[in-house]
Amino acid sequence: MERIFINQTIKYIGEKVKVCGWVNSRRDHGKIIFIDLRDRSGLVQIVFTEELKSEIYKLSDKLRPEWVIEVVGTVEKRPEKMKNPKIETGGIEIKAEDLKIHSEAKTLPFSVESDGYEINEEKRLKYRYLDLRRQRLQKNLKIRQEVIYFMRTYLKEKDFVEVETPILTKSTPEGARDFLVPARLQPGKFYALPQSPQQYKQLLMVAGLERYFQIARCLRDEDARADRQAEHTQLDIEMSFVEQDDILNLTESLYIDICKKLFPEKRISEIPFPRMTYKEAMAKYKSDKPDLRKNKKDENELAFCFIIDFPMFEWHEGEKRWGASHHPFTKPKTDDTEKIKKTPEKIISYQHDFVLNGWEVGGGSIRTTDLNVLTAVFEVLGHSPKETKEQFKNYFEAFQYGVPPHGGIAPGIDRFLAIVLGEPNIREVISFPKTGDNRGLMMDVPSKIPEDQLKELHIKIIRDK
Ligand code: ASP
């Protein structure tokens, strides 16, 4: 007999069904035992009566919360006054005829019935596989899938091609440190995990893909910050033969549609999304990610906007050097290389940030395809032309074989979800998040590596905390 989901049982009144899941609770009324059985789809009441073959009744008497069982029984309508309007299957119950215990369970370290906010978070992360049993998190994961699925379908219909790019790669400067992976077969050399697929997506434009996207994992070794993750997921997009407005228009219509279809209870404050320059935003709101909600107490209001015309460079006072506001591949609004080098503070770029309710939820730019400009930008950042050519050999080579004008954007998925779902932080919308200081409490990572493995990698630990 094929197992059915619990929420389907209401369609089988009078019929025999098989359901599987976890014992949510049990009540013992002398000659009758009630079990609330839970699976992914909901709860249903199972009744074991003494009329059963005695060994099954005896077995049912052993059941405890979170045991995993399988029940075959007949779906029966509950008498009117026994109905439970609070659950979807509250009008029926299953009269058990057979019972199989798949596994027993220890007492859980915390309840999975509540929304879980009241439980110590480190504990929740340590037992994330249990934490994920709670309905709120299951719902968040399902909505996450809906959003990603929607993005995929939407972009595919607009002739975008989804392409996977390598995880073992070389550093691309996106403003954070790289996670490095030692290369066993090339002693002394390392791969870097991608801070984003930036270089690959641009090279896909040289390859003639024209419209690319990827649900991309980006890995950045940043200093501990409360609501950041070492790995985040973004909708990575790149397009050829476009202007900045084309990228913003696409993003805008995608997000309007996502909200309409998946979050109909939400209200977007202003359509089209306001677009303002960095200068305007700073003058008016003293922020480059202004919160444009009309009523900040309204949990259903979404205020999107785009900020454009950012300064190309920002001064890092601590290190006394220039950095790129977005990344060095962003196109400055001038191709005068002398001006770029002499007055970096005056250079405006084709960077665009995507902002929602005061949070930066994405960024992108039109890219530099003029190698002289790229070299000048890197000179401002402190790299000699020789170094730049060496470090970005692939660009210098590729861009000489016919490069289309191109640009892109990368809206983050975690932050967007946390905002629309009204979650207090991004960990609530990520399956297995890490702590703010990048520890994975469930897997106990990072972890030490056995001596032989290090030897194989030609690595010696010189300081061990
Ligand atoms: N690579 C950029 C980022 O991850 C996005 C972009 O420029 O498209 O922020």
List, for residues 146-157, the tens digit of each pLDDT value: 999 999 999 999
Ranges of beta strands (E only) in 40-183 are 42-49, 68-77, 92-103, 161-162, 180-182
Q: Look at ligand 1, atom 1, and give the residue with the nearest C-alpha.
A: 198
Looking at the chain, the whole-number percentage of residues with pLDDT higher than 70 is 100
For 217-240, the pLDDT digits (tens) are: 999 998 877 788 999 999 999 999
Per-residue pLDDT, 226 = 76
pLDDT at 275 (0 to 100):
98
Ligand 1 center to 407 CA (angstroms):
10
Q: Is the pLDDT of residue 76 over 90?
A: yes
Average pLDDT over residues 71-94: 95
Q: Is the CB of 206 under 6 A from ligand 1?
A: no
pLDDT digits (tens, 9 = 90+) for 297-338: 999 999 999 999 999 999 999 999 999 999 999 999 999 999
Q: How far is the CA of 411 from the centre of ligand 1 (A)?
A: 8
Picking from 8, 3, 414, 31, the residue whose alpha carbon sits closest to that of residue 215 is 414
Length of the chain as a residue count: 465
Check pocket membership of 409 for ligand 1, CB cut-off 6 A. yes
At residue 185 the predicted structure's pLDDT band, cuts being 50, 70 and 90, is: very high
Rounded Cα gap, residues 287 and 269, in angstroms:
19
Looking at residue 134, its pLDDT comes to: 95
pLDDT the model gives residue 207: 98
Q: What percent of the chain has pLDDT over 90?
A: 91
Task: Find out whether the beta carbon of 410 lies less than 6 Å from any atom of ligand 1.
Answer: yes
**Which residues lie closer than 8 Å to 304 by C-beta, 6 or more apart?**
252, 255, 268, 269, 270, 273, 354, 355, 356
CA of 180 to the centre of ligand 1 (A): 20
Instruction: Say how many Å lie between the CA of residue 190 and the centre of ligand 1.
Output: 23
Tell me how far apart the alpha carbons of residues 60 and 202 are, in angstroms, rounded to a whole number. Answer: 61
Q: Cα separation of 135 and 120, whole Å?
A: 18
Q: Is the bond preceding 272 in cis, omega lying within 30 degrees of 0?
A: yes
Residue 465 clears pLDDT 70, i.e. is over it: no
Amino acid at 418: A
With the most atoms of ligand 1 within 8 angstroms of its CB, the residue from 193, 203, 326, 330 to mutate is 326
Name the token pair of 130.
């249990």
Specify the DSSP element, H or E, that contains 23. strand 16-28
| Whether residue 173 has pLDDT greater than 80 | no
Distance in Å, CA 142 to ligand 1 centroid: 26
In the reported structure, the alpha carbon of residue 196 is separated from the centroid of ligand 1 by a whole-number distance in angstroms of: 7
| φ, ψ dihedrals at 11, nearest 5° | -85, 0
CB distance 198 to ligand 1 below 6 Å? yes
pLDDT surpassing 80 at residue 174: no
Instruction: Output the pLDDT for position 215.
Output: 98
> Per-residue pLDDT averaged across 126-155, rounded?
98
What 3-state DSSP class applies to 254?
Answer: helix
Ligand 1 contacts CB of residue 363 (under 6 A)? yes
Can you give the pLDDT at residue 170?
Answer: 87
For residue 11, what pLDDT band results from cuts at 50, 70 and 90? very high
pLDDT of 139 higher than 80: yes
pLDDT over 70 at 439, yes or no = yes
Q: pLDDT value at position 175?
A: 78
Q: How far apart are CA 315 and CA 355, in angstroms?
A: 23
CATH architecture of 129-310+349-369+404-430: 2-Layer Sandwich (3.30)
Which residue has the least CA distance to atom 7 on ligand 1?
364
Q: What is the pLDDT of residues 97-125, one digit of tens each?
A: 999 999 999 999 999 999 999 999 999 99
Q: Mean pLDDT, to the nearest integer, of 69-77?
A: 97
CB of 67 closer than 8 Å to CB of 22: yes
Return the best residue to mutate from 198, 212, 367 for the ligand 1 pocket (most ligand atoms within 8 A of CB): 198
In the CATH hierarchy, which top-level class contains the domain 6-103?
Answer: mainly beta
Domain ranges of the chain: 6-103, 129-310+349-369+404-430
Cα separation, 147 vs 433, in Å, equals 19
Does the pLDDT value for residue 216 go beyond 90?
A: yes
> Which residue of 212, 214, 236 sits with most ligand 1 atoms within 8 Å of its CB, as the best mutation to test the pocket?
236
Residue nearest to atom 6 of ligand 1 (CA): 364
